[in-house]
């Protein structure tokens, strides 16, 4: 065979070989194998991230509940100021009555003491 003919046949063989290698390298089963490798490598890290996120979510939910409960308690305290003022008035009235009774028991005339206030 002549040199150009040999080169042509050699080129055809190398082209066919290159094409076969290219097809083999891009075959779907190879792609699936590479995908499986990627999943196997990255799955543990993703699972750890998921566990961390769930733990942080639980902690956040606990903190949110605590803050909401504290806000509710403060609101109830503000709302109960009316009752505290009422109790304060009743205590003042009880102290005045006690002082009046003590003065009466010690022999002072009730006219000398101011009357118990009805605050």
The whole-angstrom separation of Cα 56 and Cα 119 is: 54
Confidence label for 72 from pLDDT (cuts 50, 70 and 90): very high
Mean residue pLDDT across the chain: 87
Residue ranges per domain, the chain?
A: 1-77
Between CA 23 and CA 31, with CA 15 as vertex, the angle to 5 degrees is 15
How much is the pLDDT for 118?
55
Mean pLDDT over 107-114 rounds to 61
The whole-angstrom separation of Cα 43 and Cα 102 is: 83
Instruction: Render pLDDT for 77-110 as a digit per residue (tens, 0 to 9).
Output: 888 888 889 999 999 999 999 999 998 888 766 5
Report the greatest alpha carbon distance in the chain. Answer: 149
* Both tokens assigned to 51: 């566990």
What dihedral do alpha carbons 50, 53, 58, 62 form, nearest 10°? Answer: 180
Query: Is a pLDDT exceeding 70 seen at residue 119?
Result: no
How much is the pLDDT for 20?
86
Percentage of the chain exceeding pLDDT 70: 89
Higher pLDDT, 88 or 111: 88
Instruction: Render pLDDT for 18-33 as a digit per residue (tens, 0 to 9).
Output: 988 888 777 777 778 8
């Amino acid at each position: 065979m002549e040199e150009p003919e040999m080169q042509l046949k050699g080129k055809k063989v190398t082209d066919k070989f290159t094409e076969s290698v290219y097809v083999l390298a891009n075959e779907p089963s190879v792609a699936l194998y590479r995908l499986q490798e990627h999943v196997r490598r990255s799955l543990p890290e993703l699972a750890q991230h998921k566990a961390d996120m769930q733990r942080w979510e639980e902690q956040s939910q606990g903190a949110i509940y605590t803050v909401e409960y504290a806000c509710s308690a403060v609101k109830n305290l503000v709302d109960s100021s009316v009752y505290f003022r009422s109790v304060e008035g009743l205590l003042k009235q009880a102290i005045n009555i006690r002082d009046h009774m003590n003065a009466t028991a010690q022999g002072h005339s009730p006219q000398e003491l101011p009357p118990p206030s009805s605050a």
